Structures are given as C-alpha cells and as structure tokens.
Amino acid sequence: YQAKRGRRGTTVYDPGTDQHTVGQLAMVTDLRRALENDEFVLHYQPKVSLADLKVTSVEALVRWQHPTRGLLPPGEFLPVLERSGLMQPLTRWVLREAVQQAASWRRAGMPLQVAVNISPRSLLEDDLPARVLAVLRGAELPASLLQLEVTETAVMTNPERAAFVLTQLQARGVEVAIDDFGAGYTSLALLRILPITALKIDSSLVSQMLDHAADEAVTQAVIDLAHRLGFSVTAEGVETDALLDRLAALNCDQAQGYVVSAPLPPAAFEGWLTDWRARTSSTAGRSGTPP
Ligand code: C2E
Ligand code: MG
Ligand code: MG
Ligand code: MG
C-alpha cells in the first residue's frame, strides 16, 4: 500500500493512488489474520501531574507486531481498519487488554487509571457502554480507573449520539476525555453538552508555545476555559523541560510526552515507573527546580 509522511512525521495511508485498492485489500487480509493471531500489543505512556510530577494515569497505545514488517505504529494501520469495518474487534481487544492490565497493576499495589482511545466508529456503536461495563466487571476494575479518549472529530460526526453514549458511561463512573483538542474544528458549544471530565490539548498547539505567543495565548485560554467548565487539562506531546515548566506556570494540570516517557511495553513501563518515583520523590518540585 502507498504511504506518505503526514503531519508530525507519522505515516499516513494515502488513498490518492490507483494501486491502493489492491494494497489495501492485502492489508485488510493481513489485519484479519493479525486479529485472529493476537499480533497487536499495547504500549503505555504516563500522564504526570504538573504540581508534583506524580503519575496519575497511563494511556494505552496500540501497535502491530507484524510478522515481517516489525512493530508498526497505529498511523500505519488504523485508517485501514476504520474503513474496512475491522475497528470493532480491535477496540474490543484493546479495551479488554488495557482493563486487564490496569486490574493486574492494581492487584500488584499500583493502582493506575488507564486511558483507551475510542475511534469515531466505535464511539457510535450501540453496545459500547454495555461492553465497557462488562469488561470492567470481568476484570473487577473500578470504573473510575478507566478513561476513554475520544477526539472532537469523532464527537462531531454525531454529537447527540456521542453525548448519549458517553453520558451512560459517565453515569457509571467511567471518565471521558476529549483528545487532540485544538487540532481540528472545535465547536465550543460541544463542550457544554458533552459529559466529559478532561481535555487533552493537542501537541500541534502546545509544542510551538514557547516560540509563538499566539499559541501560548490560545493554550492559556483553553486551560482557563476548561477549568471554568470543571475539566482537568492535559498537554500532549511535551518534549522539553522548558515547556513542562511553562505549562505548570499556566496552571495546566497534567502533561504527557517524551520529556516524561515515550510509550513503553508493560514490563518496561513498570521499570520506568519505579525509577521515576525514586527520582521524583526525593525532590518536592520538578527535576532541576529547587524545592
Ligand atoms: P493520540 O491518542 O493523540 O496519542 C498521542 C500520540 O503522540 C501517540 O502516537 C504517542 O506515541 C505520540 N507522542 C507521545 N508523546 C509524544 C511527544 O512528546 N512527541 C511526539 N512527537 N509524539 C508523542 P501513536 O502511538 O503513534 O498513536 C497515534 C494515534 O493513533 C493516537 O493519537 C490515537 O489517535 C491513535 N491510537 C493509538 N492507539 C489506539 C487505539 O488503541 N485505538 C484507537 N482507536 N486509536 C488509537
Ligand atoms: Mg489519545
Ligand atoms: Mg491525543
Ligand atoms: Mg494527538
């Protein structure tokens, strides 16, 4: 299949060629097999509280351990999955896997909220709330330890339906976050009607903040607006300490990004967490900042 470099250097599927039909069909066959053979894996990326650098939750990010092509990032296969109607089985797998992982960490004395990305299609499925609750029950995980991340685009497809589905989930204690906020066309009106508890500001807005006053102004305004609406705010794609400090100064609640940790396989994440806790518990403030 044809791929090209997309925004932020991710590989995106390019539907603009003729060969794509054949290539895509092959990939769909490949993906079906992958689902049957359990070829997907989840990596986990922490979100840290900017006030005390404590790890508040982890986001589950899917990768495809392809038998010949190696570990593939979601940008390489999610668009094909979403279009070919195979997203539903993947979403089910990711939910089960992430919830079981969170339950197992909790049993090991490491209670962490896990965040799962829900695709636009999966968000519109009738049985999503029932499925999510069944998975939580099966793993004996409290609903508050699960967060669902949905993009503004997903919600905009059908705002009423999305609000209905998310309200059911939130009523049972599942947290809902808007992902990639500020990356697309946002309707501020949407923020009034959606039952959300958190907002993730897209890295495209945050990453240029130190060099572009306008980006910082918008970020500041988004943080203030979110707080007025009672949401917590996470900044995505934070790569430097300088940015981490600036976000803390703007009262942003949490940050996620390579400066803290890249997404890691479960065992590596556990090791990282132990190190991180040892490093950050000795100082009251952020590393490099005097207490
Ligand atoms: P997202 O949910 O906005 O996830 C953040 C993406 O930014 C992840 O890419 C993450 O690895 C990357 N990232 C994290 N920190 C940094 C940083 O400091 N700098 C930069 N440049 N990038 C950073 P990834 O894992 O390739 O995932 C891409 C997108 O694929 C996700 O964006 C999400 O929309 C989607 N996705 C991932 N896993 C799943 C899944 O299980 N289900 C669904 N439906 N979508 C998923
Ligand atoms: Mg996300
Ligand atoms: Mg995001
Ligand atoms: Mg994003």
Residues 11-67: tens digit of each pLDDT: 455 555 445 677 788 889 999 999 999 999 999 999 999 999 999 899 999 999 999
- 45 alpha carbon – ligand 1 mean position (Å): 9
Q: What is the pLDDT of residue 7?
A: 46
pTM of the predicted protein model: 0.91
Q: Are 28 and 37 in contact (CB under 8 A)?
A: no
Query: Is 73 touching ligand 1 by the criterion CB < 6 Å?
Result: yes
Q: Is the pLDDT of residue 128 over 50?
A: yes
Look at residues 121, 114, 151, 156 and name the one whose alpha carbon lies nearest to residue 135. Answer: 114
Q: Is the pLDDT of residue 250 over 60?
A: yes
Q: What is the pLDDT of residue 188?
A: 81
Q: What is the pLDDT of residue 283?
A: 60
**What residues have CB less than 8 Å from 135, skipping those under 6 apart?**
95, 96, 99
pLDDT band at 246 (very low <50, low <70, confident <90, very high): very high
The rounded mean pLDDT for the chain is 89
Helix (H/G/I), strand (E/B), else coil: 123: helix
pLDDT over 90 percentage in the chain: 75
Query: Is 62 touching ligand 1 by the criterion CB < 6 Å?
Result: yes
State residue 132 phi and psi, 5-degree precision: -60, -45
pLDDT, tens only, 188-244: 888 888 899 999 999 999 999 999 999 999 999 999 999 999 999 999 999 999 999
CA angle 119, 152, 167 (to 5 degrees): 75
Q: What is the pLDDT of residue 72?
A: 96
- 42 alpha carbon – ligand 1 mean position (Å): 11
Q: What is the pLDDT of residue 21?
A: 72
pLDDT over 70 percentage in the chain: 90
Q: Are 125 and 88 in contact (CB under 8 A)?
A: yes
Q: What is the pLDDT of residue 191?
A: 86
Q: Is the pLDDT of residue 1 over 80?
A: no
Q: What is the pLDDT of residue 291?
A: 40
Q: What is the ipTM of this complex?
A: 0.98
- 41 alpha carbon – ligand 2 mean position (Å): 16
Q: Is the pLDDT of residue 187 over 90?
A: no
The residue whose CA is least distant from atom 6 of ligand 1 is 237
Q: What is the pLDDT of residue 230?
A: 95
Q: What is the pLDDT of residue 4?
A: 43
